[in-house]
């Protein structure tokens, strides 16, 4: 099995207190009870709100989705003061209403209420609390709920890993995945939770955002190898996107390196031309057939391919290294003279193969004795 445990580090979302402690009962993975009170009327000004148990045939909209969210929250809190837990479906509806309203303070009020009656709700309600906070853009509050949960299921882990990844906390998502794998492999934790299809999709997305192809590949291979999970189209798509993104980055880095080397080669050639002139080189512009002025002809000669190749070789090799240049055209007389002078002050041997023969330049002399 691929070992992920080395990547698991301590993850804490509670280093800074966010909400006042409100847990009065341990959170248990139990089925919520059917409440005896069929109707709970509360009066606010001239309005009366009825919270009723859901009926399969009912078309009503509990908690008044179209009513004011504060009124709904006040109703919820009034129920709390009367020690009456709201039904899970009503709490879920109110959480969705809070997300739609993008109200973090409203989310905090729901959190306090749920924590007060924590023993009345099963793990799915707390998973929805985590999801609510992520959708409100607060991953720390989401993590706080996750850490406070005594009982977690795979949905709890998936919600956290996905939410962290979608909120720019990809490294934390990967660390949490590693923690899940470690706990699943630890026989002393009494945890039978293992990653599923959704878990791997979320962690692959995290790797995709980070451009971490190495981790992404190990997770992708681990799906079928260690957990017997057949990758779906979504898994393949995420993995291919990760590889494509990584390859684009590598190509981009190579392009930048190539452009950098090209700039250095041109700069080196300009320096070599200045030194060659000091050593007696004079450009022979007869080898430029274009109708341009003398200065332009000298520039044209300076950037002939064999000179650029030599300049590049000089910046990429150690002093004294023999450079070998292959050219598919006949070397011009001006380049021949330039390389002879260059071989002397650079104290290098340059071997140039044109379409006629080999030219061995060393100590200011060419093996062809200027006849080719």
pLDDT in tens, 7-26: 444 455 543 333 333 333 33
Name the more confident of 254 and 339.
Answer: 339
Element (H, E) at 134: helix 123-135
Identify which of 10, 33, 46 has the alpha carbon closest to the alpha carbon of residue 84.
33
Distance from C-alpha of 345 to C-alpha of 75, rounded to nearest angstrom = 92
Residues 157 and 283 in one domain: no
Stretch 316-326: mean pLDDT: 92
pLDDT over threshold 60, residue 41: no
Residues 11 and 140 in one domain: yes
Phi-psi map region of 334: left, alpha, beta (phi>0 left; psi -120 to 50 alpha): alpha
Length of the chain: 372
pLDDT over threshold 80, residue 238: yes
What angle, rounded to 10 degrees, do the helices at 88-101 and 69-81 form? 150
Distance from C-alpha of 353 to C-alpha of 176, rounded to nearest angstrom = 61
For residue 39, the cross-strand partners are 52
What 240-244 contacts at long range (C-beta under 8 Å, 24+ apart), as own/partner pairs, is 241/208, 242/204, 242/207, 242/208, 242/211, 242/212, 242/213, 242/216, 243/213, 243/216
Residues 290 and 157 in one domain: no
pLDDT over threshold 70, residue 283: yes
In a domain, 66, yes or no: yes
Stretch 36-41: mean pLDDT: 33
Lowest-pLDDT choice from 44-53, 106-115, 318-327, 345-354: 44-53
pLDDT confidence tier of residue 135, bands split at 50, 70 and 90: very high
In a domain, 235, yes or no: no
Residue 231's Cβ-side half-sphere holds a number of Cα atoms within 13 Å equal to 21
> Mind listing the pLDDT tens digit for each residue in 239-260?
888 888 777 866 666 666 677 7
Lowest-pLDDT choice from 45-59, 70-84, 156-170, 277-291: 45-59
Quick one: the chain helix, strand, coil %, rounded to 5?
55, 5, 35
In a domain, 175, yes or no: no
Distance from C-alpha of 70 to C-alpha of 76, rounded to nearest angstrom = 10
- Joined tokens for residue 159: 């919600």
Percent of the chain residues topping a pLDDT of 70: 78
Name the more confident of 145 and 41.
Answer: 145
Q: How many CB atoms within 10 Å of residue 219?
A: 27
pLDDT confidence tier of residue 349, bands split at 50, 70 and 90: very high
Element (H, E) at 42: strand 42-44
Query: 370 by DSSP, 3-state: which?
Result: coil
Residues 17 and 151 in one domain: yes
Residues 32 and 158 in one domain: yes
Contact 219, 204 (CB under 8 A): yes
- The pLDDT of residue 27 is 29
Contact 125, 92 (CB under 8 A): yes
Q: Could you tell me the CATH number of the domain that includes residue 148?
A: 1.25.40
Residues 160 and 25 in one domain: yes
Residues 288 and 151 in one domain: no
Residues with Cβ within 8 Å of 29's Cβ and at least 6 positions away in sequence, in order, are 122, 123, 151, 153
> Mind listing the pLDDT tens digit for each residue in 183-225?
887 755 556 789 999 999 999 999 999 989 999 999 999 999 9
Phi-psi map region of 308: left, alpha, beta (phi>0 left; psi -120 to 50 alpha): alpha
Contact 338, 276 (CB under 8 A): yes
In a domain, 292, yes or no: yes
- The pLDDT of residue 188 is 53
User: Domain boundary residue among 101, 136, 167?
Assistant: 167
User: Domain boundary residue among 129, 144, 167?
Assistant: 167
Stretch 87-109: mean pLDDT: 92
- Split into its structural domains, the chain has a count of 2
Q: How much is the mean pLDDT over the chain?
A: 81
Domain holding 326, by residue range, is 279-366
pLDDT confidence tier of residue 331, bands split at 50, 70 and 90: very high
User: Domain boundary residue among 136, 167, 198?
Assistant: 167
In a domain, 266, yes or no: no
Residues 19 and 158 in one domain: yes
In a domain, 83, yes or no: yes
Stretch 91-98: mean pLDDT: 92
């Amino acid at each position: 099995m691929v070992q992920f445990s080395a990547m698991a580090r301590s993850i804490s979302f509670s280093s800074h207190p966010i909400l006042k402690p409100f847990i009065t009962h341990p959170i248990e993975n139990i089925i919520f009870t059917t409440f005896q009170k069929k109707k709970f009327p509360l009066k606010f000004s001239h309005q009366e709100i009825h919270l009723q148990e859901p009926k399969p045939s009912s078309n009503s909209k509990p908690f008044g989705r179209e009513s004011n969210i504060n009124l709904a929250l006040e109703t919820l809190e009034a129920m709390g003061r009367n020690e009456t837990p709201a039904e899970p479906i009503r709490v879920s509806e109110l959480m969705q209403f809070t997300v739609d309203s993008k109200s973090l303070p409203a989310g905090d009020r729901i959190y306090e209420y749920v924590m007060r009656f924590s023993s009345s709700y099963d793990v799915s309600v707390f998973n929805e609390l985590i999801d609510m906070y992520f959708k409100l853009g607060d991953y720390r509050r989401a993590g706080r709920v996750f850490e406070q949960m005594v009982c977690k299921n795979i949905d709890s882990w998936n919600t956290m890993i996905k939410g962290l990844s979608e909120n720019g906390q990809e490294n934390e998502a990967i660390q949490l995945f590693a923690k899940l794998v470690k706990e699943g492999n630890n026989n002393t934790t009494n945890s039978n939770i293992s990653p599923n299809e959704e878990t791997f999709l979320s962690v692959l997305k995290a790797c995709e955002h980070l451009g971490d192809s190495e981790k992404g590949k190990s997770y992708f291979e681990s799906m079928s190898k260690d957990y017997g999970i057949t990758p779906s189209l979504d898994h393949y798509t995420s993995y291919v996107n990760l590889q494509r993104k990584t390859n684009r980055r590598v190509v981009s880095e190579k392009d930048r390196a190539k452009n950098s080397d090209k700039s250095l080669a041109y700069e080196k050639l300009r320096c070599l031309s200045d030194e060659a002139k000091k050593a007696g080189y004079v450009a022979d512009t007869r080898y430029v057939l274009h109708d341009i002025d003398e200065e332009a002809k000298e520039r044209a000669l300076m950037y002939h391919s064999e000179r650029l190749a030599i300049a590049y070789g000089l910046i990429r090799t150690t002093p004294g290294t023999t450079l070998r240049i292959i050219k598919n055209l006949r070397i011009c007389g001006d380049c021949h003279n330039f390389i002879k002078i260059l071989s002397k002050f650079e104290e290098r041997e340059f071997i140039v193969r044109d379409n006629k023969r080999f030219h061995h330049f060393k100590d200011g002399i060419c093996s062809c004795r200027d006849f080719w």
